[in-house]
Amino acid sequence: MTLNFLGSSPTRFLFFTGKGGVGKTSIASAASLHLADAGKTVLLVSTDPASNLDEMLGVTLSNRPAAVPGAPRLSVLNIDPTAAAEAYRVRVLAQLETGTDEKTRQTVREELSGACTTEIAAFDEFTGLLADEASGFDHVVFDTAPTGHTLRLLSLPKAWTGFLAGNDRGASCLGPHSGLKMQEERFRHAMEALANERLTTIVLVTRPERGAIREADRTSVELKAMGLSNQHLVVNGVFRASGARDAVAASLEKEGRSALADMPEGLRRLPREEIALRAYDMVGLDALRSLLAPAGSPKPMAEREPDPAAMAAGRYPDLRALIDRLAGDGRGLIMVMGKGGVGKTTIASAIAIGLVGRGHSVHLSTTDPAAHLAMTLDGELPGLLVDRIDPKAETARYVAKAMETRGRDLDEAGRALLREDLESPCTEEVAVFHAFSRIVGEARSAFVVLDTAPTGHSLLLMDATGAYHRQMVQNLPAQPGSGRLITPLMRLQDSAYTHVILVTLAETTPVSQAAALQEDLRRAGIEPYAWVINKCLVASGTRDPLLLRRLSGERAQIARVHDGLAKATYLLPRLAEPPVGIAALERLAGSTVG
């Protein structure tokens, strides 16, 4: 098959976005290969700090284009926020006037150490690719981070252009404004390119699942409000059961058909295509090329028939056992982390409900801009406080507090300058970090369960936590007799205070990303407590032929986690009905696997 937006005259820029786990990277990679195989020069760009393009394409990612072996005319790069931030710092410091004393340079260097700088630096590289830095390529394909982070990225050209238009003063959290003013023309050009239907196509990727479809609809509406109207819809992983006798397979098909039948009208009006569920992971060029191949094409070499002897389900501890362990502490912070689409929100909600059922009061919150908690819970429970870190509300709170404290003794001119600085798009990142820190502190006396954003966005939040810790330790050393300084990072590093639960699926890419996240956390001094392998067909009892062909791959990934990655492994089966609502989550928290 050929997706209609890849027809006779595809646009130069193609953006693939959607809820975590819907297959954005697979489809973006397959589309890039299709264009390259047709003779076009293509640059595939990941804007996700936790990208897995390297594993899928068999190439080492960096912030410079790298040729993909086996795919002439296709190159790939990853916008690495850390590398981008360091390059940005070097450029800003180079703009300081000759003769600037070392103390001033050190002050600017410290101001450039936070999350604001990381965001604007990554954004700066993104806008460069929309301008002239990819001039040697016929097409630039963007594989974006999960939706909430992507909406933030795509809103930045307009936000920064508006901020800079009325601000030409000294310095901010990003260093000298003169460095940003030099980029204003490039920001404006980026916004024009994004809104130009002859240049840019937005591809909304979803699964035939209600949550993913709702998020695609919300994304579509928000992008149209930004002027990005050339949108297409791809429904990935459409499943058709081989018969009605297999409850899991029949339920999967019924769930998909029902979700598509109830699709919001705005999405229904978009050009749309469907891609069938495959029996193999999308790893390697053969598998990726097969994704857009006509029906009946030979399967890629990566696929193998299952070994029946390897498919017998073993016994693993279930979610009830994990909750029992957690409940024994009586309080603490439980952070549920992982790649988008693996079921973090479901697991976090089930853990919170399980703790309430064991007699504890629980605060359940989320750092995810897309915020799926309300949809998953679909109800209220005594003893459970549910909220989310709302970026807009937290920004308003932060600005009001800053004006009340820092602006209290300023004259009108000073207050006007302070308010102008607080209108920076960076203020939102700072406000979200302060809200995160506040929630972390609550776990001193109660249970706090935190459903985190997909991996890449969470890593940026961890970067902000580390930057704040370094700043506090350097500038506010604890004085004898004044009590010990405890930063949010120190609480996260305290294994008696914080338990990090990594959630994955029994598939190559989610496991690899969870393993990479674990290494990132360990470098920050944070040791994961346990892994949860979610939605396992191997424990579901299915006999559907297509689903059975996926089992040998699942077995290999379960063994990979249990034998070499996790200190403790818990396994949940794929259920015949999605666990949505308080009652279903209570059952999940008390389920048995064996």
**Which has the higher per-residue pLDDT, 572 or 99?**
572
Q: Report the percentage of the chain scoring pLDDT > 90.
A: 25
Compute φ and ψ for 266, nearest 5 degrees: -60, -40
Regarding whether 266 and 340 lie in a shared domain, the answer is no
Region label for 343, one of left (φ > 0), alpha (ψ between -120 and 50) or beta (otherwise):
left
Regarding whether 514 and 375 lie in a shared domain, the answer is yes
| Mean pLDDT score, 364-385 | 76
Convert the pLDDT of each residue in 464-487 to its tens digit: 555 555 555 555 554 444 456 677
Regarding whether 26 and 74 lie in a shared domain, the answer is yes
Total number of domains in the chain: 2
Tokens of 325: 């362990």
Regarding whether 57 and 154 lie in a shared domain, the answer is yes
Task: State the amino acid at position 120 in one-letter form.
Answer: I
Query: Among all chains, which residue has been given the structure tokens 């989310």?
Result: 388
Convert the pLDDT of each residue in 414-423 to its tens digit: 888 778 777 7
| Mean pLDDT score, 19-41 | 89
**Which has the higher per-residue pLDDT, 571 or 8?**
571
pLDDT of residue 302: 42
pLDDT of residue 558: 93
| Mean pLDDT score, 78-82 | 74
5: DSSP letter: G
pLDDT of residue 312: 39
**Which has the higher per-residue pLDDT, 105 or 197?**
197
| Residue 507 included in any domain | yes
SS (H, E, C) 229-241: CCEEEEEEEECCC
- Residue 535 and residue 191: Cα distance in Å, rounded? 40
Q: Which of 261, 294, 327 is the last residue of a domain?
A: 294
H/E segment holding residue 502: strand 498-505
C-alpha distance from residue 498 to each of 442, 537, 562 (Å) = 12, 31, 22
Residues serving a catalytic function are 21, 23-26, 48, 509
Convert the pLDDT of each residue in 228-267 to its tens digit: 889 999 999 899 988 768 888 888 898 899 999 999 999 9
Contacts of 130 (CB under 8 A, 6+ apart): 13, 140, 189, 190, 193, 194
pLDDT of residue 491: 84
- What is the CA angle 240-241-246, rounded to 5? 160
| Residue 246 included in any domain | yes
Q: Is 65 exposed, middle or buried (0-12, 13-18, 19+ CB in 10 A)?
A: middle
Sign of CA dihedral 173, 176, 181, 182: negative
pLDDT of residue 116: 59
Q: Which of 258, 277, 294 is the last residue of a domain?
A: 294
Residue 157 · residue 62 · CB < 8 Å: no
Region label for 312, one of left (φ > 0), alpha (ψ between -120 and 50) or beta (otherwise):
beta
| Residue 340 included in any domain | yes
Pairing between β-strand 231-238 and β-strand 332-337 as defined by DSSP bridges: unpaired
Which band of pLDDT confidence, cut at 50, 70 and 90, is reported for residue 448? very high
Regarding whether 260 and 155 lie in a shared domain, the answer is yes
| Residue 214 included in any domain | yes
The 3-state DSSP composition of the chain as helix, strand, coil percent (nearest 5) reads 50, 15, 40
Q: Is it the case that residue 362 has pLDDT exceeding 90?
A: yes
Task: State the amino acid at position 107 in one-letter form.
Answer: T
pLDDT of residue 96: 64
H/E segment holding residue 204: strand 200-206
Least confident of 110-124, 206-220, 386-400, 508-522: 110-124
Regarding whether 451 and 522 lie in a shared domain, the answer is yes
Domain span at residue 529?
A: 319-392+443-474+486-589
Regarding whether 265 and 209 lie in a shared domain, the answer is yes
Collapse the DSSP code of 256 into the 3-class scheme (helix H, G, I; strand E, B; otherwise coil) and give the result.
helix
Cα 29 to its chain centre, rounded Å, is 18
Q: Is it the case that residue 493 has pLDDT exceeding 90?
A: no
CA torsion 325→449→530→543, rounded to 10°?
Answer: 100
Regarding whether 531 and 495 lie in a shared domain, the answer is yes
Least confident of 122-126, 336-340, 408-412: 122-126
C-alpha distance from residue 229 to each of 123, 195, 212 (Å) = 21, 7, 20
| Residue 404 included in any domain | no
| Residue 376 included in any domain | yes
| Mean pLDDT score, 501-509 | 90
What beta strand segments (E) does 519-587 contain? 530-536, 569-573
pLDDT of residue 591: 42
**Which has the higher per-residue pLDDT, 118 or 497?**
497
Residues in the chain: 594
| Residue 182 included in any domain | no
| Mean pLDDT score, 79-108 | 70
Closest by Cα among 399, 350, 341 to 368: 341
Regarding whether 265 and 374 lie in a shared domain, the answer is no
User: Bridge partners of 273?
Assistant: 234
- Residue 21 and residue 479: Cα distance in Å, rounded? 48
| Mean pLDDT score, 379-398 | 85
- Residue 35 and residue 6: Cα distance in Å, rounded? 8
Q: Report the percentage of the chain scoring pLDDT > 70.
A: 74
Regarding whether 459 and 584 lie in a shared domain, the answer is yes
Convert the pLDDT of each residue in 151-210 to its tens digit: 555 555 555 555 545 555 444 444 444 445 555 666 677 778 888 999 999 999 999 988
| Residue 373 included in any domain | yes
Residue 1 · residue 236 · CB < 8 Å: no
Least confident of 301-305, 401-405, 466-470, 506-510: 301-305
pLDDT of residue 569: 95
CATH of the domain at 516: 3.40.50.300
pLDDT of residue 115: 55
Regarding whether 147 and 248 lie in a shared domain, the answer is yes
Q: Which of 259, 294, 329 is the last residue of a domain?
A: 294
Regarding whether 262 and 210 lie in a shared domain, the answer is yes
Least confident of 133-142, 164-173, 230-239, 276-285: 164-173
Residue 585 · residue 577 · CB < 8 Å: no
Q: Is it the case that residue 496 has pLDDT exceeding 80?
A: yes
pLDDT of residue 37: 92
Residue 201 · residue 11 · CB < 8 Å: yes
C-alpha distance from residue 496 to each of 329, 352, 491, 506, 530 (Å) = 8, 18, 9, 29, 14
